């Protein structure tokens, strides 16, 4: 067979490979259009499915219950009590008048009564307890927001990780096709005595290694898909197609709006409410009371008959025991507030450092992508030249493997840089709190 024949055969095989690859790509595109899974859908499903989301309703119910319970303090406080007692001595009047003898008060006494107390200054304590309940509920909601934000970050990591594995698989498949074409040409050259059979065997060994790598990538992808399915609460097939996000949906913002900031603010409001409560609870308490009952004796201590009675008025009470620890309690609240301020400052610092890291990484990726296309073009030219030389025995199989690997590394580098840039853009916005 002449040199022209070698080239004709090789071109025919290359065309067949190209057509097969085109048909496969068309099939995959059609499949992707039917079953492509978007990042937005995953985020929505994860937010609906994850058990953490159920805590919103629990936190709201607990907050309403606590506030409602505290607000009951505005209502009159009712009490029903009874008493039976025996005294060692009673009131005795040692006065004797003509025809009148003072009655002797019985030593056994009985009383049952009901009392209603309406607090006045205690209403300040009730107000503070209601505010504290609302502040604690807001802090709990902010804690849940922090956990849900972390969930979004996990979903993003899995989603972009799968996309990165898809790029690795795509490039690996291109590499296997290049190796198959090289094996065909090496077999043709070996059949005509211009190349050793071992050269084709070396290419076959490299093909097996490439197929092993492809198998590892696909297995890792299935693991990632399974993890993503657990987070979103969906049964996802191992080969489910993902739609690549084109760009971030909104304009980049320089304002940090992380849920952690709302948590710090809610914690400070809770401390403020606790501070006001601590002040008001140690004030003298003034209340209006009304008491009505039935007993022996009633209000007349010298009357041994069972009779109803009623009494009412203003009552002043002051529990000064709380003043003993008031200063230490205030000091503890101040320390807690300072600790929150320090956490706030540390969080902002770490967030800004992370933003700078993402911004620097995006700039680096843009510079790398600017040269990736030229690198691929040069690597592809060298590979094609080596493949032609391989056919006529002027290049070794190792030479061809070297250049195939170099071109595929360049293609993989471009694909990875594109995805990494998109991922870094999402990470930047997620760090801001989008």
pLDDT band at 6 (very low <50, low <70, confident <90, very high): very low
Q: Are residues 379 and 230 in the same domain?
A: yes
Q: What is the rounded distance in angstroms from the CA atom of residue 304 to the CA atom of residue 315?
A: 28
Who's near 100: CB < 8 A, 6+ residues apart? none
Summarize the confidence of residues 89-113 as an average pLDDT.
73
Angle at 319 between CA 74 and CA 133, to 5 degrees: 40
E strand or H helix that includes residue 128: helix 122-191
pLDDT above 80 for 32: no
pLDDT at 140: 92
Q: Are residues 6 and 17 in the same domain?
A: yes
User: Which CATH number goes with the domain that contains 331?
Assistant: 1.20.1600.10
pLDDT above 50 for 270: yes
pLDDT at 13: 37
pLDDT at 216: 92
Of 95-99, 140-144, 295-299, 324-328, give the range with the top mean pLDDT: 140-144
Q: What is the rounded distance in angstroms from the CA atom of residue 139 to the CA atom of residue 399?
A: 64
Q: What is the rounded distance in angstroms from the CA atom of residue 173 to the CA atom of residue 177?
A: 6
Q: Are residues 13 and 62 in the same domain?
A: no
pLDDT above 70 for 252: no
Summarize the confidence of residues 321-343 as an average pLDDT.
87
pLDDT at 8: 32
pLDDT at 155: 93
Name the β-bridge partners of 312. 290
Is there a domain that residue 90 lies in? no
Who's near 50: CB < 8 A, 6+ residues apart? 148, 151, 231, 233
Helices 397-432 and 326-391, axial angle in degrees (round to 10)? 160
pLDDT at 24: 43
Q: Are residues 66 and 8 in the same domain?
A: no
Is residue 194 within 8 A of residue 397, CB to CB? The reply is no
Is there a domain that residue 66 lies in? yes
Q: What is the rounded distance in angstroms from the CA atom of residue 73 to the CA atom of residue 235?
A: 51
pLDDT at 253: 58
Summarize the confidence of residues 59-71 as an average pLDDT.
88
pLDDT at 335: 93
Q: What is the rounded distance in angstroms from the CA atom of residue 219 to the CA atom of residue 169?
A: 11
Q: Are residues 355 and 379 in the same domain?
A: yes
pLDDT at 226: 92
pLDDT band at 194 (very low <50, low <70, confident <90, very high): low
Q: Are residues 48 and 17 in the same domain?
A: no
215's tokens: 């198998």
Is residue 143 within 8 A of residue 388, CB to CB? The reply is no
Q: Are residues 236 and 172 in the same domain?
A: yes
Q: Which residue has the tokens 């307890």?
A: 129
Smallest CA-to-CA distance from 340 within 277, 260, 274, 279 is with 260
Q: Of 145-149, 319-323, 346-350, 406-410, which range is least confident?
A: 319-323
Who's near 360: CB < 8 A, 6+ residues apart? none
Summarize the confidence of residues 352-377 as an average pLDDT.
89
Summarize the confidence of residues 214-238 as an average pLDDT.
90
Phi first, then psi, for residue 191 (nearest 5°) are -65, -25
pLDDT at 97: 59
pLDDT above 70 for 4: no
Q: Are residues 234 and 346 in the same domain?
A: yes
Compute and round to an integer the Cα radius of gyration of the chain: 42
Is there a domain that residue 369 lies in? yes
pLDDT above 60 for 93: yes
Is there a domain that residue 88 lies in? no
Name the β-bridge partners of 114. 80, 292
Smallest CA-to-CA distance from 281 within 120, 122, 131 is with 122
Q: Are residues 15 and 46 in the same domain?
A: no
Per cent of the chain over pLDDT 90 is: 21
Average pLDDT of the chain is 81
Q: What is the rounded distance in angstroms from the CA atom of residue 333 to the CA atom of residue 345?
A: 19
pLDDT at 96: 61
41's tokens: 């859908």
Q: What is the rounded distance in angstroms from the CA atom of residue 311 to the CA atom of residue 309?
A: 7
pLDDT at 142: 92
pLDDT above 50 for 21: no
pLDDT at 10: 38
Summarize the confidence of residues 248-270 as an average pLDDT.
80
pLDDT at 15: 40
pLDDT above 50 for 427: yes
Q: Are residues 71 and 177 in the same domain?
A: yes
Q: What is the rounded distance in angstroms from the CA atom of residue 223 to the CA atom of residue 13?
A: 36
Is there a domain that residue 293 lies in? no
Is there a domain that residue 87 lies in? no
CA 15 to chain centre: 51
For residue 297, whether the previous peptide bond is cis, meaning omega lies within 30 degrees of 0, is: yes
Summarize the confidence of residues 402-409 as an average pLDDT.
79
Q: Of 7-16, 45-54, 147-156, 423-432, which range is least confident?
A: 7-16
Q: What is the rounded distance in angstroms from the CA atom of residue 244 to the CA atom of residue 36?
A: 9
pLDDT at 36: 80
pLDDT above 60 for 337: yes
Q: Are residues 15 and 48 in the same domain?
A: no
Number of domains in the chain: 2
pLDDT at 267: 92
Is there a domain that residue 246 lies in? yes
**Residues of the domain holding 246:** 37-75+126-283+324-432
Summarize the confidence of residues 62-84 as an average pLDDT.
87
Model confidence pLDDT, tens digit, residues 43-59: 999 999 889 888 889 98
Q: Is 336 exposed, middle or buried (0-12, 13-18, 19+ CB in 10 A)?
A: middle
Is there a domain that residue 424 lies in? yes
Q: Are residues 224 and 351 in the same domain?
A: yes
């Amino acid at each position: 067979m002449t040199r022209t024949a070698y080239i004709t055969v090789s071109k025919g095989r290359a065309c067949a490979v190209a057509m097969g690859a085109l048909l496969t790509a068309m099939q995959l595109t059609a499949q992707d259009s039917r079953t492509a899974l978007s990042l937005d859908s995953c985020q929505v499903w994860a937010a609906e499915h994850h058990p953490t989301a159920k805590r919103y309703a629990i936190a709201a119910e607990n907050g309403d219950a606590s506030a409602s319970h505290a607000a009951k303090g505005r209502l009159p406080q009712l009490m029903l009590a009874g008493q039976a007692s025996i005294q060692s001595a009673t009131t005795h009047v040692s006065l004797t008048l003509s025809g009148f003898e003072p009655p002797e008060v019985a030593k056994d006494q009985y009383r049952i009564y009901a009392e209603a107390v309406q607090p006045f200054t205690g209403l300040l304590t009730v107000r503070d307890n209601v505010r504290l309940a609302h502040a604690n509920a807001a802090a709990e909601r902010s804690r849940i927001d922090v956990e849900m934000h972390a969930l979004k970050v996990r979903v993003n990591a899995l989603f972009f990780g799968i996309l990165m594995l898809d790029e690795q698989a795509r490039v690996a498949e291109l590499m296997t096709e290049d190796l198959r074409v090289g094996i065909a040409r090496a077999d043709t050259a070996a059949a005509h005595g211009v190349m050793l059979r071992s050269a084709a065997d070396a290419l076959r060994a490299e093909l097996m290694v490439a197929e092993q790598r492809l198998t590892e990538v696909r297995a890792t992808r299935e693991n990632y898909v399974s993890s993503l399915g657990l987070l979103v609460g969906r049964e996802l097939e191992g080969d489910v197609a993902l739609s690549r996000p084109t760009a971030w949906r909104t304009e980049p913002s320089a304002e940090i709006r992380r849920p952690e900031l709302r948590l710090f603010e809610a914690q400070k409001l809770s401390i403020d409410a606790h501070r006001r409560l601590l002040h008001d609870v140690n004030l003298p308490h003034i209340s209006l009371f009304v008491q009505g009952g039935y007993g022996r004796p009633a209000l007349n201590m010298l009357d041994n008959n069972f009779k109803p009675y009623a009494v009412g008025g203003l009552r002043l009470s002051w529990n000064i025991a709380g003043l003993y620890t008031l200063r230490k309690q205030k000091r503890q609240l101040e320390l807690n507030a300072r600790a929150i301020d320090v956490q706030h400052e540390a969080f902002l610092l770490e967030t800004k450092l992370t933003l700078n890291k993402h911004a620097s990484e995006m700039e680096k990726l843009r510079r790398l992508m600017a040269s990736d296309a030229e690198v691929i073009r040069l690597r592809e030219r060298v590979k094609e030249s080596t493949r032609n030389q391989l056919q006529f025995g002027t290049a070794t199989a190792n030479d061809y493997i070297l250049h195939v690997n170099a071109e595929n590394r360049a293609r993989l580098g471009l694909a990875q840089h594109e995805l990494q840039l998109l991922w870094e853009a999402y990470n930047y916005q997620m760090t801001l709190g989008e």
